[in-house]
């Protein structure tokens, strides 16, 4: 086989793998996370990433007074439980799903608009010798008027 | 092919396949190394990976989406005014990546605004304008013809319409995020945010300034200005984004003249609604002069977006 044939062929294979991995979280988010919003209107924003066991992510968002919100945070089945907490600007914890059996959704409303921080953490499987699991984690917001 | 060249070929293929898997996973920090893939991969340093994971941090900066912005305007009791929207006829003049990205956000906001106020024909026109921008950016299937057909079939069902609008917006920004175009994704979000902000400022009744709920919603955008700057900062170095950062900083300078004092939030679970109420109070201080300054600044920015 000549290099002139190998390189384009390899590039095609690499592209196919890359595209598949890129699209992986979008399909997961639409199929697994979106339904968790129930009768709340999805805001249309997309937040998803491949996270590894033990990895942490943060999300900053302004929430408005007198709106009813639902946040849904879902990880792929191959991941351990997804822990998330919601904090105010001074890092006071307003909610932690760890105290609610790692619930994937939380419904809330605010009396005063403010910016909140969500800390999302993929817990660990307690298998120190094995390669850590990885998979998509999706965060979605829904609201009601 | 001799033995040596066969080994080289498979070595290169294996190396590139492995590289492809990592590229597809958007960076080493989040490398999704499947257990079965380790056989064709190079030896992984477990301790180094664990250390990397401990240090890893992914940050999402979430702006209000066009759908949310339109809803905030309506919930504040504002009247609908078609004259405030970006004319659909402008769509054909957007040819650069920057102009199409910003106006995909602008048109999606106008589309959401039209949807909220049940402007049936207009929302189809704006869906088509948004589709033109998405197609121009090469976003595959962000807005498919079947979405427009479904929109027409459910033209009187506001819930279905909002569902379609939010889905098409998600299709656009997820495509851009997952195909390595975060700068374009950020510009789409900025365009939508600025349009919502612009429409809000134009709808305020200055004779009732102190009691207009829309003023409160506009002041609330102060909380998002740093989120917006952080979002854009992730693509610093991109010439279009650098210029946009300067424009947003002008807005921030005006917002710095607005003060908002919020008491410590206190969560209280409400059994009746099975949801949590975050109790707190806020005190806002904005003068008419500062408000007018905000209005002028956002108008200039918005006009630079729709008249590139």
| Phi and psi at residue A108, to the nearest 5° | -160, 165
Residue B29 lies in a domain: yes
The count of other CB atoms within 10 Å of the CB of residue B269 is 11
**Domain identity same for B115 and B159:** yes
Whether B4 has a pLDDT exceeding 60, the answer reads no
Q: Which of A126-130, B4-8, B202-206 has the highest mean pLDDT?
A: B202-206
CB of B77 closer than 8 Å to CB of B211? no
Would you state the structure tokens that stand for residue B89, as one six-digit string?
């006829």
Domains of chain A plus CATH, in order, are 3-144 (2.60.120.380)
- Reported as a single tens digit per residue, the pLDDT across B96-135 is 999 999 999 999 999 999 999 989 889 999 999 999 999 9
DSSP B109-122: HHHHHHHHTT-HHH
Instruction: Report how many domains make up chain B.
Output: 2
Containing structural domain, residue B132: 66-306
B31 interaction partners in chain A (CB closer than 8 Å): 50, 52, 134
**Domain identity same for B86 and B49:** no
Q: Give yes or no for A79 touching B (CB within 8 A).
A: no
**Domain identity same for B255 and B291:** yes
Residue B296 CA to residue B301 CA, distance in Å, equals 9
N-to-C CA span, chain B: 57
CA distances from A96 to A36, A80, A92, A101, B5 (A): 18, 17, 11, 10, 57
**Domain identity same for B219 and B113:** yes
Closest residue in B to A86 (Cα–Cα): B267
- Reported as a single tens digit per residue, the pLDDT across A40-96 is 999 999 999 999 999 999 999 999 998 999 999 999 999 999 999 999 999 999 999
Residue B61 lies in a domain: no
**Least confident segment among A82-96, B55-69, B76-90:** B55-69
**Domain identity same for B48 and B73:** no
CB contact under 8 A, B65 and A30: no
Average pLDDT, chain A: 86
CB contact under 8 A, B280 and A111: yes
Residue B60 lies in a domain: no
**Domain identity same for B230 and B83:** yes
**Domain identity same for B75 and B44:** no
| A-to-B residue pairs, Cβ atoms closer than 8 angstroms | 235
- Residues A12-35 have a mean pLDDT of 68
**Domain identity same for B89 and B183:** yes
A33 to chain B nearest CA, in Å? 13
Q: Give yes or no for A124 touching B (CB within 8 A).
A: no
Residue B33 lies in a domain: yes
**Domain identity same for B180 and B300:** yes
> Which residue from B19, B87, B68, B304 is spatially nearest to A43, judged by alpha carbons?
B68
Domain end among B55, B74, B96:
B55
**Domain identity same for B253 and B230:** yes
**Domain identity same for B37 and B113:** no
A74 to chain B nearest CA, in Å? 15
């Amino acid at each position: 086989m000549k290099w002139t044939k190998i390189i384009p062929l390899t590039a095609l294979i690499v592209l196919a793998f890359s595209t598949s991995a890129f699209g992986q979280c979008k399909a997961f988010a639409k199929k697994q996370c979106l339904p968790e919003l129930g009768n709340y209107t999805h805001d249309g924003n997309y937040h998803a990433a491949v996270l590894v066991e033990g990895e942490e992510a943060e999300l900053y968002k302004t929430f408005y007074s007198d709106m009813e919100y639902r946040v849904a945070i879902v990880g792929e089945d191959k991941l351990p439980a997804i822990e998330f907490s919601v904090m105010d600007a001074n890092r006071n914890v307003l909610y932690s799903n760890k105290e609610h059996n790692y619930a994937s959704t939380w419904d809330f409303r605010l009396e005063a608009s403010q910016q909140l921080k969500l800390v999302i953490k993929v817990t660990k499987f307690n298998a120190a010798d094995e390669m850590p699991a990885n998979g998509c984690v999706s965060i979605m917001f829904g609201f009601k008027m | 092919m001799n033995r040596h060249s066969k080994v080289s070929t498979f070595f290169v293929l294996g190396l590139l396949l492995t590289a492809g898997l990592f590229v597809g996973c958007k960076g080493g920090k989040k490398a999704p190394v499947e257990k079965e893939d380790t056989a064709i991969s190079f030896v992984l340093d477990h301790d180094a990976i664990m250390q990397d994971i401990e240090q890893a941090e992914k940050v999402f900066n979430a702006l209000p989406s066009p759908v949310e912005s339109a809803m905030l305007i309506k919930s504040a009791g504002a009247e609908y005014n078609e004259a405030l929207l970006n004319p659909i006829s402008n769509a054909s003049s957007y040819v650069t990546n920057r102009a199409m990205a910003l106006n995909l956000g602008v048109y999606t906001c106008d589309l959401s605004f039209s949807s909220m106020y049940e402007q049936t024909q207009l929302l189809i026109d704006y869906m088509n304008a948004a589709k033109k921008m998405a197609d121009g950016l090469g976003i595959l299937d962000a807005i498919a013809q079947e979405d427009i057909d479904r929109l027409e079939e459910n033209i009187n069902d506001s819930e279905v319409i909002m569902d379609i609008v939010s889905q098409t917006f998600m299709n656009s920004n997820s495509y851009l995020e997952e195909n390595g175009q975060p700068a374009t994704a950020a510009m789409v979000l900025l365009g939508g945010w600025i349009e919502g902000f612009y429409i809000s400022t134009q709808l305020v009744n200055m004779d009732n300034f102190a009691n207009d709920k829309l003023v409160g919603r506009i002041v609330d955008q102060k909380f998002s200005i740093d989120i917006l700057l952080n979002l854009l900062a992730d693509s610093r170095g991109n010439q279009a984004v650098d210029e946009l950062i300067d424009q947003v900083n002008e807005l921030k300078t005006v917002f710095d003249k607005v003060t908002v004092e919020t008491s410590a939030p206190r969560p209280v679970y409400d059994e009746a609604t099975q949801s949590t109420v975050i109790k707190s109070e806020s005190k806002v201080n904005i003068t008419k002069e500062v408000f007018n300054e905000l209005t002028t600044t956002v108008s200039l920015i918005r006009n630079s977006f729709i008249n590139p």
